[in-house]
Each structure stands twice: as C-alpha cells, then as structure tokens.
Amino acid sequence: MNLVFLGPPGAGKGTHAEILSKEKRLVHLAAGDILRRNVKEGTELGNQAKSIMARGELVPDALVNDMMFAEIRSLKAKGSEGFILDGYPRTIGQAEELDRFLTREKMSLTAAVNFDASEAVVIERLSGRRICAVDGKIYHVRNMPPKTEGICDCHGQPLLTRKDDQPETIKTRLAVYHESTKPLIDFYFRKGILRHVAADGDAPSVQKMLEKLFENTR
Ligand code: ADP
C-alpha cells in the first residue's frame, strides 16, 4: 500500500507515519527529514534548501520532485511493500508530477490521508516540539515529554528546537500551507482516494482511527 499524508505542519503526520509504517511494514519517506539530512551533510540540494527552509517557505518543486523520485525508485529496487509519503506532495505541481512519475513506474497511490487539525492545536504542538539531534525523534514538552526534561531517551543528548519552529516562522509555514498545500485535499478528493482523520486528539486516539482506516488494507 502506498499512502500520502496531508495536513498542516504540526498535524501529526510524522509521528503517525512512523508508527503506521512499522505496523504495516511500509517505508516512511518524510520530505522535511530528507531535506534536513541534505542540509546537515552539506549536499548541493541541502545548500540550496537551507535558507528557504529556515524561513518556512517551500523548496522549489523541481528539486523536491527529483529528491523524492530517487527515494521511491530505490524502494522499488529493494522490493519494499509500500511507502508513506509525509510532507510530499505539498503543491498541486508536485502532486501532478508525482502522478506522472508513479504511472511511468507502474505504481499508484492507495489513499491520501488528510490530518484535520485546528490552527490552535497546531501552533501549540509546533511551539512545544523538540527533536533528538541524533535521529530526529520527536518529543513535545507537554504531550510527549522525554523521561528527563530536555534530554533524548535513546541517546542521552540535549533535545533541540527546530529553527523553523520559532513563532514567526510557524506563521509563515501555516500561511504557505493554506495557500499551496490545502488545495491538495480537493485534488485527492476528485481522484476518489481521500480519507480523513480527526487529528486534534492525543496521539493514541489518532493512531487508533488511522489503524481502523487501514485494518483490512495491505
Ligand atoms: P512541517 O510539516 O512540520 O512543516 P517538514 O519537516 O515536513 O515540516 O518540512 C520542513 C520544511 O522543509 C518546510 O517548511 C519546507 O521548507 C521544506 N519542505 C518539506 N517538504 C517539502 C515539499 N514537499 N516541498 C517543498 N518544500 C518542502
């Protein structure tokens, strides 16, 4: 099964993609994580994307498309059972290119899951989000705290706040979401593959809804 996770930043796409991908043996491809890895490694793509990401704007479609197509191709070569695309596509242009790419590769999307989260919840989640510097594992100061405040459970390293989780940048990311990404809900509705998950609740209840949606799908 091949899934796309849609929703505003902070809706919980990454958290739930991580859990569902393990349960269903899918590969979790998070566009933001792959971009951040490129920034960290100082690749050409990373250098092009760095300041755009820090401002909370979108990296140009052509760059992100090529990056994601390479990832999907490598999964196909490894014979994986499917993938969850998290944070991709994020524009109508990306969604159209993804469609063409999948058709060429004789693949298709099983569903696009929209994480419905209210603006207030999203802002609260993003401003309290902390990440592990080693593997990017996500925590939240209140909703998902580490065992020791400010320290990663797995690596014992201090947790970081993402540069783009500053209040001003959160505002930009939400504006970009409304302008460029929200139209994808209608795009996938028209294709007949849109599913909804109410994403304001706590992580276990959202996860339950998600599992219910796909309990009989492989
Ligand atoms: P979030 O979903 O919480 O905003 P991500 O980690 O998915 O965060 O993305 C972080 C940043 O990476 C985005 O603000 C944007 O600059 C860039 N990015 C991620 N995915 C895409 C994409 N599909 N197209 C363009 N830019 C992207």
* Catalytic residue, candidates 55, 162, 163, 195: 162
- Residue 84, judged by CB atoms within 10 A of its CB (0-12, 13-18, 19+), counts as buried
Residue 215 confidence (pLDDT): 87
Q: What is the pLDDT of residue 88?
A: 98
Is ligand 1 within 6 A of the CB of residue 59?
A: yes
Q: How far apart are the first and last CA of the chain?
A: 6
Query: What pLDDT score does 116 carry?
Result: 95
**Ligand 1 nearest atom to the CA of residue 31, by list position:** 20
Beta bridge partners of 196: 114
Q: Any idea which fold 2-118+172-213 has?
A: Rossmann fold (3.40.50)
CA distance 54 to 70: 24
What is the dihedral angle through the alpha carbons of 162, 136, 131, 194, rounded to the nearest 10 degrees?
80
Cα separation, 50 vs 178, whole angstroms: 22
How many CB atoms are closer than 10 A to CB 168? Answer: 9
Query: How far is it, in rounded angstroms, from Cα 44 to Cα 90?
Result: 21
What pLDDT is attached to residue 81?
Answer: 84
pLDDT value at position 44?
96
Annotated domain spans of the chain: 2-118+172-213
pLDDT at 37: 93
- Residue in 173, 178, 180, 184 to alter for ligand 1 test, most ligand atoms within 8 A of Cβ: 173
What global pTM score does this model have? 0.89
12 pocket-lining for ligand 1 (C-beta < 6 Å): no
For residues 126 and 210, the answer to whether their CB atoms sit within 8 Å is no
Phi, psi angles (nearest 5°) of residue 199: -110, 15
pLDDT at 133: 87
- For 15-66, list the strands marked E by DSSP: 27-30
| CA triple 16-21-23, angle to 5 deg | 100
pLDDT in tens, the chain (218 residues): 999 999 999 999 999 999 999 999 999 999 999 999 999 999 999 999 999 999 999 999 999 999 999 999 999 878 788 999 999 999 999 999 999 999 999 999 999 999 999 999 999 999 999 999 888 888 999 988 999 999 999 989 999 998 889 888 999 999 999 999 999 999 999 999 999 999 999 989 999 999 999 987 76
Q: What is the pLDDT of residue 180?
A: 96
Q: How many CB atoms lie within 10 A of CB 49?
A: 22
Q: CA nearest 200: which of 133, 129, 137, 115?
A: 115
